[in-house]
């Protein structure tokens, strides 16, 4: 079968490898679509394990089921989670599924940028989901990123009417904006350094959007009734945004680090202690988050179709990586492994 083998962002080669065999409890999926995630192009992180086949936002059609698989059959249209929790350890039982060691060590093989993918038995048991009848494969590639957004918003536990500031209006920022709007947010503000993305932030639900180089606390106060934001979501790895977030949160509010800062930041702990401010992090998603993401997408609450800027065949995966790494022309790039 054909795979897109990753060596670095500028070197992704179309290569051949044997199609994976499956064992008892496993499933073989014919990959139909797989999104390129921003984490896929984190070269400093990925290149250490190269060469490898990446891709974890994959949806496709079941080609074969192993012995003992009863809930699924060949021909079923599915989304597969690559990381799944054990659901039995202390972390899982207390709601911290993404801290589960099993979640950190599970994956499917070889990756979503391949014609066929083997889904291990544990993933089949709790990380394989049938697609709603009218959901296309491109939309299904958003299940994983939307599930991550759902988990972050649930961690914040903000009531309806909460004001939000989303720092960074790339694809994760826009998904956070759209999901917050679906969850009955109040005013939503966004920032970015790219004028086009500021327009997109407004298009997908932001009340207003500001150039990230502006005095954002002052812009917030002017637009939000003299108040800072109840919830600040950092959806860019820029160290400047990570630090800026701390100056933009209102008393009693929450700063959520959806993205990982590229450097250390200094937290004004005395001010935060006095003002009852919470700092939260979020990583990945659980099977429950994926189910909620599927429901949101199926109901049309998050208009992901409008976020896809490029659809490319497997042979052009390198081009897709370049588009995502550059971050100018693209918003969401989807690879079609069968083309």
pLDDT digits (tens, 9 = 90+) for 241-290: 999 999 999 999 999 999 988 878 889 999 899 999 999 999 999 999 99
Is beta strand 332-336 parallel, antiparallel or unpaired with respect to 308-313?
parallel
Please tell me whether the peptide bond between 242 and the residue prior to it is cis, using omega within 30 degrees of 0: no
What is the distance between the alpha carbons of residues 15 and 11, in angstroms, rounded to a whole number? 12
pLDDT for 141 beyond 90: yes
Q: What average pLDDT does the segment 304-333 reach? A: 96
Predicted pLDDT of residue 336: 98
CB 331, CB 307: distance < 8 Å: yes
Give, in order, the Cα–Cα distances in Å from 327 to each of 54, 216, 218, 236, 244.
Answer: 19, 23, 28, 12, 21
Predicted pLDDT of residue 329: 85
Comparing 260 with 65, which gets the higher pLDDT?
65
Note the pLDDT tens digit of each residue in 77-93: 999 999 999 999 999 99
CB 26, CB 118: distance < 8 Å: yes
CB 181, CB 206: distance < 8 Å: no
Predicted pLDDT of residue 128: 98
Q: What average pLDDT does the segment 27-35 reach? A: 98
Please tell me whether the peptide bond between 186 and the residue prior to it is cis, using omega within 30 degrees of 0: no
What is the distance between the alpha carbons of residues 153 and 220, in angstroms, rounded to a whole number? 21
Give, in order, the Cα–Cα distances in Å from 163 to each of 60, 220, 268.
Answer: 38, 10, 22
What is the distance between the alpha carbons of residues 273 and 336, in angstroms, rounded to a whole number? 49
pLDDT for 130 beyond 90: yes
Give, in order, the Cα–Cα distances in Å from 127 to each of 147, 159, 329.
Answer: 12, 29, 33
Residue boundaries of the structural domains of the chain: 2-142+302-336, 147-281
Q: Quick one: fold of 2-142+302-336?
A: Quinone Oxidoreductase; Chain A, domain 1 (3.90.180)
Is beta strand 11-16 parallel, antiparallel or unpaired with respect to 332-336?
unpaired
pLDDT for 6 beyond 90: yes
Give, in order, the Cα–Cα distances in Å from 90 to each of 85, 86, 87.
Answer: 11, 10, 9
CB 286, CB 98: distance < 8 Å: yes
Q: In the structure encoding, which two tokens stand for residue 70, read together?
A: 């009863």
Predicted pLDDT of residue 264: 84
Q: What average pLDDT does the segment 153-164 reach? A: 94
Q: What average pLDDT does the segment 148-155 reach? A: 96
pLDDT for 31 beyond 90: yes
Q: What average pLDDT does the segment 218-223 reach? A: 97
pTM: 0.96
Please give the CATH superfamily to which domain 147-281 belongs: NAD(P)-binding Rossmann-like Domain (3.40.50.720)
* Span of 127-136, 174-183, 259-268, 306-315 with lowest mean pLDDT: 259-268
Comparing 263 with 127, which gets the higher pLDDT?
127
Average pLDDT, whole number, for the chain? 96
**Would you tell me how many other CB atoms lie within 10 Å of the CB of residue 269?**
10
The burial class, CB within 10 Å (0-12 / 13-18 / 19+), for 225 is: exposed
What is the distance between the alpha carbons of residues 256 and 246, in angstroms, rounded to a whole number? 10
Whether the domain at 2-142+302-336 and the domain at 147-281 fall into the same CATH topology: no
Give, in order, the Cα–Cα distances in Å from 131 to each of 60, 77, 80, 297.
Answer: 9, 6, 10, 11
Best CA proximity match to 36, nearest among 338, 336, 339: 336
Note the pLDDT tens digit of each residue in 194-218: 999 999 999 999 999 999 999 999 9
Q: What average pLDDT does the segment 152-162 reach? A: 94
Comparing 32 with 329, which gets the higher pLDDT?
32
């Amino acid at each position: 079968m054909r795979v897109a083998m990753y060596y670095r962002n500028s070197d992704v080669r179309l290569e051949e490898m044997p199609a994976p065999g499956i064992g008892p409890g496993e499933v073989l999926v014919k990959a139909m679509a797989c999104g390129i995630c921003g984490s896929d192009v984190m070269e400093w992180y990925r290149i250490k394990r190269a060469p490898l086949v990446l891709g974890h936002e994959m949806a496709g059609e079941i080609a074969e089921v192993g012995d003992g698989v009863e809930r699924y059959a060949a021909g079923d249209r599915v989304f597969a989670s690559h990381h799944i929790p054990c659901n039995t350890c202390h972390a899982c039982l207390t709601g911290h599924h993404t801290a589960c060691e099993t979640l950190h060590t599970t994956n499917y093989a070889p990756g979503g940028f391949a014609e066929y993918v083997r889904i291990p038995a544990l993933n089949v048991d709790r990380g394989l989901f049938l697609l709603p009848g009218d959901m296309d494969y491109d939309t299904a590639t958003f299940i994983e990123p939307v599930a991550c957004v759902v988990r972050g918003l649930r961690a914040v536990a903000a009531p309806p009417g909460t004001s939000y500031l989303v720092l960074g209006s790339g694809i994760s920022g826009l998904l956070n904006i759209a999901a917050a709007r679906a969850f009955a947010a109040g005013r939503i503000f966004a920032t970015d350094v790219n004028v086009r993305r500021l327009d997109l932030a407004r298009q997908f639900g932001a009340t207003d959007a500001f150039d990230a180089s502006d005095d954002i606390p002052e812009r917030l106060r002017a637009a939000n009734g003299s108040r800072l934001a109840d919830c600040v979501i950092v959806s860019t790895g820029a160290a400047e945004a990570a630090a800026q977030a701390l100056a933009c949160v209102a008393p009693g509010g929450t700063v959520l680090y959806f993205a990982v800062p590229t450097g250390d930041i200094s937290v004004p702990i005395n001010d935060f202690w006095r003002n009852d401010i919470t700092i939260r992090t979020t990583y990945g998603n659980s099977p429950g988050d994926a189910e909620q993401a599927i429901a949101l997408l199926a109901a049309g609450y998050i208009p992901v179709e409008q976020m896809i800027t490029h659809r490319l065949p497997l042979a052009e995966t390198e081009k897709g990586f370049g588009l995502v790494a550059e971050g100018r022309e693209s918003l969401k790039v989807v690879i079609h492994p069968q083309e």
